[in-house]
Chain A
């Protein structure tokens, strides 16, 4: 056991200090935003009602946290034992990711302190309602999965800890997590079903919610892989090539499924012609598909590549980049349909808050990994 090695690890390195400074900058801006309103800190307007915070912090962030439910599925439902070693880390990232996404929603709402309204004033015909409810419950589920590790460390409430660590309870939480994830991951795409007149036909389809779900699985797996690689770097442990190889294979297969579904859908709706349209949209589409889906899919289908750390890092980042581009395309092309010839660029405050929140996430992750049994106890299982 390398607990000692971990706690000896110097905590306040230069990088950590930068993370801390960025987090504090974000918190100051957040307070400013809460006092003075959205108009003063963001570049949002009637023609771009959704900006960086919704498209990146929330919609992309949630998709990248999809590794949580994918890995717990592999480890607990499919029973591929090796993934148990990273199940905790993946759950932790998902938990932090969702906390950040909820913070993003909170900031972006015009009336942040009414964030609880959807839980009481139901409007089940709204996709947004479904998302809010699913995300709230799922964040709670993630918290319950995370709680025992905290309790173990603090050495309190052992009864509750043992209850939450019972096999049956874990399984119930895992299944609930998978179901809730399907609900909101797909519904984030479902939001745009209401934009048939705005979104470009290369993205608009009555299947868009399923595409969001499938692409979240791809990017979630990539995120977990990157995290596993950097986690090993941070703790100065050898790379877990066995796991990384499996994840890469999974990513490649998931990308293939996503690609096929997306193209069959375009073909059925007779929309393939738009690919050759030569417009900005078609160029964006080609970049998104070739660099974000096809290339990493091909690289990761080669066994030697799946065993090479640089190739893994490169292709997983391509997948993440592709997902990011996809979400940006959907949100901002929809808004282009809001009659605007005005161009939205996020304000520096929006950018700092986004970077600061990510830094805060990494910072939290670091504290937790160093102090709680996330990586080191996995050996026991």
Chain B
């Protein structure tokens, strides 16, 4: 089943229960950071934090404090998976994009490729892994919702069949046109993502990347380069072959005379 999660940014109160739940489910250590003039804590996603709530103080249009849940978007056609030379990142039937540390060679091309800058790396070990949210793949296979979704006291995240969550997003926007921005972030970005967002503030003000092409990333490399390479090589071979043929024929003629 194609799963998805709708994140309704208007509902979040910034309690960080989801962060704790994610850590608990994945046995990740606590992170100790100093407050740095900002309540976002830890400061950014890393090998030890698959998700976090970003505290965004809106200084431009009508002042507001917003809390944005960050984690992997689980793209429908993930750039990271298409980038990986060994297929260590894969999109599963349950919609999660998961990682196989045994296959990975540590080239870190997935980090360059992901439009949302999600994959993080264990820089300080000798056998490093890529780390990122796995959509609680094991839980959803067992029919449970992801840990962060379950832990949320405000029901910010709505987990369900992808079609239903899109319908729900549209319904909320339609019923409260004054409250919501008429945009579903993730519906089209990078060819569509399994996690989608709705908000009452413009997404660019909340730090969402708005310049992500609304098309499948894997197709960019496939269409422009990889699918053509065999043909180009065949053409090259033909050109080289005929050059060689023409030249040797000329040489032979030259010998006879």
Task: Give residues in A with beta carbon < 8 Å to B.
Answer: 34-40, 44-46, 49-50, 73, 77-79, 108-112, 114-115, 117-118, 121-132, 171, 175, 178-179, 182-183, 186-187, 190-198, 206-207, 209, 334-335, 338-339
Contact = CB atoms under 8 A, between A and B. Distances in A.
Nearest to A334: B112
Contacts of B82: 125-126, 194
Contacts of B79: 194
Contact of A127 (B83, B104, B121): B83
B112 A50 contact: yes
A110 B119 CA distance: 14
Contacts of A171: 244
Given A36-B126, A111-B128, A196-B213, A206 B120 contact: no
A131 to B, nearest CB: 8
B115 A111 contact: no
Interface string B181-217: 0000000000000000000000000000101110001
B237 A109 contact: no
Contacts of B103: 117, 121
Contacts of B123: 37-39, 44-46
A126 B247 CA distance: 38
Residue of A77, A178, A194 ringed by the most chain B CB atoms within 10 A = A194
Given A190-B221, A193-B225, 9 more contacts: A50-B108, A110-B107, A110-B128, A121-B103, A126-B83, A179-B237, A190-B224, A194-B221, A195-B112
B243 interface: yes
Contacts of B121: 46, 49, 110
18 contacts: A37-B124, A39-B124, A46-B120, A50-B108, A77-B244, A110-B105, A111-B105, A118-B86, A127-B83, A127-B225, A128-B83, A131-B85, A175-B244, A179-B240, A190-B224, A190-B225, A197-B115, A338-B111
Contact of B117 (A118, A121, A338): A338
B226 A40 contact: no
A192 to B, nearest CB: 8
Contact of B105 (A35, A117, A122, A130): A117
Contacts of A207: 224
Nearest to A205: B224
Interface of B: 44-46, 79, 82-87, 103-109, 111-113, 115, 117, 120-128, 209, 211-213, 217-218, 220-222, 224-226, 229, 232-233, 236-237, 240-241, 243-244, 247, 251
A285 B68 CA distance: 37
Contacts of B111: 46, 49, 338
Contacts of A187: 225, 229
A357 B45 CA distance: 35
Nearest to B44: A46
Nearest to A339: B117
B243 A77 contact: yes
B236 A37 contact: no
A194 B128 contact: no
A197 B190 CA distance: 10
Contacts of A131: 85
Contacts of A206: 220, 224
Given A123-B86, A127-B83, A206-B220, A182 B109 contact: no
Contact of B86 (A34, A121, A209): A121
A45 B88 CA distance: 21
B224 A193 contact: yes
A124 B86 CA distance: 9
A34 B236 CA distance: 40
A209 B109 CA distance: 16
Contacts of B221: 125, 127, 190, 193-194
A178 B240 contact: yes
A186 B79 CA distance: 20
Those 7 A-B pairs whose CB atoms lie nearest each other, nearest first: A110-B106, A39-B123, A129-B85, A128-B85, A39-B124, A49-B108, A123-B87
A182 B66 CA distance: 50
Contact of B106 (A109, A122, A130, A197): A109
Residue of B82, B213, B232, B240 ringed by the most chain A CB atoms within 10 A = B240
Nearest to B128: A110
Contact of B226 (A49, A122, A130, A339): A130
A175 B237 CA distance: 7
A125 B227 CA distance: 9
A73 to B, nearest CB: 8
A26 B244 CA distance: 44
A286 B128 CA distance: 39
